[in-house]
């Protein structure tokens, strides 16, 4: 059994398994070289000749316990007929969408558009480098996808301006309908990833923090995550949820019941360990990796020690920063592997 699965199943492990969110991205010079030659990001995600190699790049350097397929959560709006473009320094820009447009997309068309993603998973799943390691497939959670589909750009851009507001395309009643459509297509996307070799699914609810009341979180975060968690478990694959900034992680875990929960860097690890008993992943602030080795050691050991008697997958509290020196990643991986 892979180290991450052993940890999730609460088997005694000698060392903590480790992988890093966004591990296959912009901080690696070998990725930047490929990216330079492929200016269209969506096209790159759909290139089955290149994606398997990008997915494996971090494993060629570091002893991670998993690879994550090189793709994006915004492949879902793309599959639903909403074009997505990435501009340097700005991030994603999405075309307008409507319920009518979404409803006009059938399963067959959706699969056809995203087929290269599944093909890449299939290819990479057969690689020897993945022996006894997991291949992580992923989706954005329905709420986070809805935010991008409506706002049509990163909420980061509007956050500072007017206290987390974002552009609305849909009325409140429509929002619930759209969440249902999104959820159904997310299920298909999960199923296809699993059929093509994903051994673990992570659900990113990166914009959970935008919802400020329990009532709204119940409707848009807890229950939609639960629906995807139940669905993924039925496929026989473990599922990790990352409801970034959700505030009430306890309630989230009680309702959604993922196999493990990934915590963001604002979560107090000492407090969370008293509140939840499922396996925990992540937490370390990605900025720590920009500091010197002493600082990295101090901060990483803090998490390792707090979670010494709790099933714990080492990871960061959000994606690795593009300016991170790969040498620091190597240092962190060795530190985690040498602990205990
Ligand atoms: O190793 C990996 O994780 C690579 C695969 C991967 C994943 C899991 C990418 C490649 N993106 C994602 C997930 C993702 N994408 C999330 C959830 C994780 C998180 O919260 O960070 C989100 C919110 C996105 C949306 C997205 N795609 C953004 C963020 C925009 C914002 O609102 O801040 C950006 C910048 C992208 C583009 C992107 N996706 C992935 C890469 C390597 C890049 C950079 C593209 C480039 O080179 O310009």
Report which ligand 1 atom has the smallest distance to the Cα of 58: 1
Question: What's the domain range around 139?
Answer: 3-338
Helix axes 293-306, 326-338, angle to 10 degrees: 40
Nearest to 317 by CA among 242, 267, 265: 265
pTM: 0.97
Output the residue whose Cα is nearest ligand 1's atom 48.
Answer: 88
Q: What is the domain-level CATH number for residue 214? A: 3.20.20.210
pLDDT in tens, 198-232: 999 999 999 999 998 999 999 999 999 999 999 99
pLDDT for 172: 85
pLDDT confidence of residue 161: 46
Q: Give residue 113's pLDDT.
A: 98
Mutation test residue for ligand 1: of 45, 124, 319, 320, the one with most atoms within 8 Å of CB = 319
Determine contact, residues 174/118, Cβ cutoff 8 Å.
Answer: no
Question: What would the pLDDT profile of 9-29 be if each residue is shown by its tens digit?
Answer: 988 788 999 999 999 999 999
Q: Which residue from 20, 22, 137, 264 has its CB within 8 A of the most atoms of ligand 1, so it is best to mutate?
A: 22
Residue 163 pLDDT exceeds 70: no
Q: Separation of 17 CA from ligand 1 center, angstroms?
A: 23
- Distance separating alpha carbons of residues 45 and 39, to the nearest angstrom: 11
Number of separate domains in the chain: 1
CA distance 114 to 79: 6
CA of 333 to the centre of ligand 1 (A): 22
What percent of the chain is modeled with pLDDT above 70? 97
């Amino acid at each position: 059994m892979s180290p991450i699965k052993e940890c999730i199943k609460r088997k005694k492990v000698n060392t903590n398994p480790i992988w890093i969110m966004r591990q296959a991205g912009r901080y690696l010079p070998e990725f930047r070289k490929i990216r330079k030659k492929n200016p269209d990001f969506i096209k790159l995600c759909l290139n089955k000749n290149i994606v398997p190699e990008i997915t494996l790049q971090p494993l060629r350097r570091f002893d991670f316990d998993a690879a994550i397929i090189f793709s994006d959560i915004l492949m879902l709006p793309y599959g639903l007929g909403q074009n997505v473009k990435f501009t340097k320094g700005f991030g994603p820009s999405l075309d307008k969408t409507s319920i009518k447009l979404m409803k006009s997309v059938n399963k067959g068309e959706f699969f056809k558009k995203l087929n290269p993603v599944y093909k890449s998973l299939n290819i990479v799943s057969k690689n020897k480098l993945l022996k006894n390691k997991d291949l992580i497939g992923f989706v954005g959670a329905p709420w986070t996808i809805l935010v991008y589909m409506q706002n049509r750009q990163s909420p980061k851009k509007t956050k500072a301006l007017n206290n987390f507001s974002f552009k609305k395309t849909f009325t409140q009643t429509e929002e619930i309908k759209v969440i249902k459509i999104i959820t159904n297509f997310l299920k298909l996307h999960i199923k296809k990833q699993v059929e093509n070799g994903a051994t673990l699914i992570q659900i990113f609810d990166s914009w959970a923090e935008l919802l400020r009341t329990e009532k709204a979180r119940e409707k848009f975060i807890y229950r939609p995550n639960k629906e995807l968690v139940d669905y993924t478990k039925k496929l026989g694959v473990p599922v990790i949820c990352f409801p970034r900034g959700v505030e009430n992680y306890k309630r989230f875990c009680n309702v959604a019941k993922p196999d493990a929960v990934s915590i963001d860097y604002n979560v107090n690890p000492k407090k969370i360990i008293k509140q939840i008993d499922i396996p925990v992943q992540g937490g370390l602030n990605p900025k720590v990796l920009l500091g010197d080795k002493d600082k990295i050691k101090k901060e990483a050991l803090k998490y390792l020690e707090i979670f010494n008697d709790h099933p714990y997958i080492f990871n960061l509290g959000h994606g690795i920063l593009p300016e991170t020196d790969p040498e620091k990643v190597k240092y962190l991986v060795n530190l985690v592997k040498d602990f205990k």
